[in-house]
């Protein structure tokens, strides 16, 4: 995310847009936590004493941090990450690695996936984000820095060395002040300089482990996989309605729309769900959840909807519904799409595949069940963040 704390503050205070802004302490010992790019242009940085920042930028607006608000927005950002792929490894409150290799069957290119992430975050949350794309975590991280602010950078495997060698050597992980001083004694300024130095020379100066580590990074070698903290637990669709849903017809229609959206997200992740869960919050804020685990995974909207209706039948009463959610968990990869239907109706399976392909290209509302026609998002749960990726 770009200047995450500052941009969250700008959501609530639009008059801060375009001005040099920092989030941090304003007292004698205050420290800058986040700075806008307008402030960074004159030297303001995170971890900098606020007094120094104010001297560098006299018109700097310093806003006290609202950590609860940032935490709430972070959860929503990561929900968007996980709606694209369940393989998400968080680095901090506002940064993560996403393994999107499993999406190749559904989206044309990694650039398309990266733009999907950025567009969704912008349209749903109103926040800017930058994406770096590469074949390794290390290079993707550097590419995301090069893409800022509010951009995307792809580093292809064939141009990886050219990209890395042009960077200053301190861009490498593990090059702190002491290591940088040692490298400078050897006349090393750029990553390209480092790549030309024999490992024995580096080992004598920095130690054998550090020397081999830096040479591997300079060559773009980083075998570490994206490792979710505890594995992806669920993919879900949830909406709080501006008007309560009254009557089973509206509730079932909203569930049908949720089933369409959940199927698209499972398809993008290349996953099927063995467990489907339903969440219903009534007008009095009473919340009920139900779940069902099947003998095999499902991913098609028709199957998800049938399970959702079964779960809905277990929720007593016809009280107005304030929130409705539908989720999948206990994932299996959909390597064999023929196993992804509850029944063996091949015609329905082919229809589901055809509809999914159209929705991937033109958006979830481009092809929809007749039951959803003529209903707005408040009535049927159709979310505006599922517009087609290339909609103008």
**Which stretch of DSSP H or E encloses residue 19?**
none
Alpha-carbon dihedral angle through residues 308, 314, 319, 320, given to the nearest 10 degrees: -10
Q: Are 304 and 262 in contact (CB under 8 A)?
A: yes
CB 167 within 8 A of CB 193: no
Residue 345 in contact with residue 256, Cβ under 8 Å? no
| Alpha helical stretches, state H, the chain | 4-12, 37-40, 50-56, 67-84, 110-125, 137-147, 160-165, 177-185, 191-195, 199-206, 208-218, 248-269, 301-312, 346-362, 377-380
- Please tell me the distance from the alpha carbon of residue 307 to that of residue 305, in angstroms, as a whole number: 5
Residue 319 sits at the vertex; the CA angle it makes with 313 and 320, to the nearest 5 degrees, is: 110
Q: List C-alpha distances in Å: 17 to 8, 20, 61, 173, 214.
A: 11, 8, 11, 33, 40
Q: Is 95 a catalytic residue?
A: yes
Q: Which of 7, 9, 38, 95 is catalytic?
A: 95
Q: Provide the b/e sequence for 209-247 (b: ≥16 CB within 10 Å).
A: ebbebbbebbebebeeebebeeebeebbbbbebeeebee
372 burial via Cβ count (<10 Å: 0-12, 13-18, 19+): middle
Active site residues: 95
């Amino acid at each position: 995310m770009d200047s995450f704390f500052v941009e969250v503050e700008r959501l609530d205070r639009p008059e801060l847009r375009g001005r040099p802004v920092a989030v941090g302490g304003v007292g004698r010992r205050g420290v800058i936590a986040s700075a806008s790019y307008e402030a960074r242009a004159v030297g303001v940085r995170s971890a900098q004493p606020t007094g120094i920042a104010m001297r560098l930028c006299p018109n700097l607006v310093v806003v006290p941090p609202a950590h609860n608000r940032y935490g709430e927005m972070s959860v929503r950002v990561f929900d968007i990450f996980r709606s694209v792929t369940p393989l998400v490894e968080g680095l901090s409150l506002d940064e993560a690695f996403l393994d999107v290799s499993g999406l190749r069957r559904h989206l044309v290119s990694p650039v398309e996936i990266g733009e999907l992430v950025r567009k969704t975050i912008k349209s749903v949350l109103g926040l800017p984000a930058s994406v770096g794309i590469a074949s390794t975590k290390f290079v993707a991280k550097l590419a995301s820095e090069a893409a800022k602010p509010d951009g995307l950078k792809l580093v292809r495997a064939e141009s990886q060395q050219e990209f890395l060698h042009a960077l200053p050597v301190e861009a490498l992980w593990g090059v702190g002040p002491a290591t940088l001083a040692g490298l400078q004694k050897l006349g090393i300024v750029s990553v390209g300089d480092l790549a030309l130095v024999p490992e024995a020379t580096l080992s004598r100066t920095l130690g054998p482990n550090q020397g081999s580590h830096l040479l591997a990074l300079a060559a773009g070698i980083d075998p570490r996989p994206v490792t979710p903290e505890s594995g992806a637990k669920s993919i879900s669709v949830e909406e709080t309605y501006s008007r309560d849903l009254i009557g089973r017809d509206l509730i079932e229609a909203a569930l049908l729309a949720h089933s369409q959206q959940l199927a698209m997200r499972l398809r993008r992740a290349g996953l099927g769900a063995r467990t489907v869960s339903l969440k219903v919050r009534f007008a009095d804020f009473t919340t009920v959840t139900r779940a069902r685990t099947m003998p095999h995974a499902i991913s098609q909207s028709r199957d998800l909807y049938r399970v959702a209706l079964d779960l809905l039948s277990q929720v007593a009463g016809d009280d107005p519904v304030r929130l409705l959610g539908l989720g999948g968990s206990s994932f299996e990869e959909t390597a064999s799409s023929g196993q992804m239907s509850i029944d063996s109706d091949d015609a329905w399976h082919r229809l589901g595949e055809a509809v999914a392909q159209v929705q991937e290209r033109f958006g979830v509302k481009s092809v929809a069940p007749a039951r959803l026609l003529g209903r707005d998002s408040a009535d049927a749960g159709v979310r505006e963040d599922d517009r087609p990726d290339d909609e103008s």
